Chain A
């Protein structure tokens, strides 16, 4: 369980994290979503005790990270896969981590095997591809068999097979009752992986909830084709519908398909097609974060 209380991080004149309060519960995969630069990585660094918050606190199982006696046995994290000394072998990198937290060397071999990099264990990390580095990062996160796991953009650099592998891996971890907290700037990615989603923008909490509840609350539209579009547009607008002409039909929002059918009947217009269209999670996300996109395109990563 990870808990944030009014977490705030200010760098000079910018608020990277702005009064975040939420909980990440065990047993499910929780997606941490936001555009690039929205404060996801900063939040994760604060949770791990690497950055100091300006205000508020982050706790793991009720305690600050720095107070954990054996941090790797309680929390596993993959922040930046390339953040490993390039001149050290994968096995020595993991062994050094294991030694500091009293973890056996046999566990090192176990996680190397699990992550699928046992064959390159003695190779220098500097020569690893991003995908192999991600796997090494995952091995490091699992080293202490922790109940809480954090992954920052873990699918970067993975091939499609690796992405599928990691999705199933997250599900398995959650089914084992662990807390799994995964950040991404891609909603499509999280829609397939996460059960719960926390959306932030410009450091602020925008929304949180289950994937289903987020798409359910989102405004859907209805696609209509009818015999007399002009008459129908007038009739729908008069009753509060928002109508846009599109190709050979109308896209109506703020109304259900039942209401539209009734109004069309009243106006004497024949309906040819009436299709409710549910917003995809991607659209919900774009809609939610459109105000909060720090950098329109290109540039700046967190």
Chain B
């Protein structure tokens, strides 16, 4: 199939869950303080910049508090002192303070953006590096969409808050304190009146925030569901089309879409009442100030300038309260996002090197499975008491029905999962005592599902050995018989593969994967059903090349094609997780057992080789 886009775009957001119908598990306990502390840790790593930013924020707040006071003085210069020169002085002072405030604010944003983005960058780096250490089971158990959502959306959430939220919070708090103090200093009685509305605001916003949180959570649940439906349907779009089930898909989509809309509307309308209501409270406060101030001015207890200042302060008091309220919401969602991110960072890798792990130097290729048992899901054994010994350089063929455990054996050899009983030895050393990377480096695996990256053919093959030269790559491609078809591609080795290599046929992808393995030049080779999707012609030539490659290397071939394994030194017949028969081809045939049955079935009783009746 030809697909022409070469740069895959942004990954799907939202999560899809396992289980009957997309429900995400919600209701996680919130460790607010802990998460905040960790988040702060990332920011605090930018010690220098953070310190500067904090100082600047303090400066902004102080300057901001001065402004209305100076204005009040200016007014009094006019009303009370009737002094033009005094007015001029106050005016200039005001200007200086305002300009300073603006300049400092910009500087603070300048510094803060650098600090916060660096913190986010560190968070992303850590997350990615962590993922590299986690075992396969972690990735098996989680839908990719969900992991992508954490990496992309959640981190971005946190990023937005760190950038402006933190300083916003600091400056808001400082402003509040500064304003309150200044007011108290100026005129205690008026200050008391002004501050009366503050607690009311706090109570109001907390009440609304609590109600809306539940609503938003509900919205997120439906969003996750919908995203899951979208991801699954579109990923399987061809099947949907092939069975004419487009209408049904739309119906399923619509049902959840409707639910999402209802939940989202409800949540957002409710949360949308907060700004107007806080405004109302603020304005009421203002009115009270104006009234009280007016009364006091009429009595001559306060000057007009004082009142003007207080009116300004009362207004200015509202801004930080408002922003704290809205910040509260976004900080909540950022913390929720951070929690999800930290969950991943806290994962303990199932398989990890310990300090006792030995390195593996030159490998002969002696492989032993000693009474190995394995259960992927506890209680459901996949391998039972598997034992065999492969001498260096031997070719071992693994045959048996699907699901018998052949692929599992490969996974265990590469230590993608840990066994439950017995031992796996390489060169007589238990692989659990060896460094993970060393084991895998010495193993060359061609997997059932070939995964290729959105890069050129050359780079994809070079993935097998990063330092390889172009000639080495081409040589490897020759061995794998991939060179011929590569040269027929529009740009040869420089052809860009699309996402997952979908602009090549399955057979061609297999060939590239084999070339990649050839380049890796491993000591132990494993071919996991690698040749079953390639046409018989190509397979033949690869077989020849493989035989060449397998010479001198211990090779495990998992094949369904009996014709490919006739040359094997040992055949292990696996059924239902156990080795039921073993031996060379002729001997097994003579036993007339399981192997014989498999062999005969392939030719449907027609062509049976001479010598076997």
On whether the two chains bind one another, the answer is no
Footprint of A on B, CB under 8 Å? none
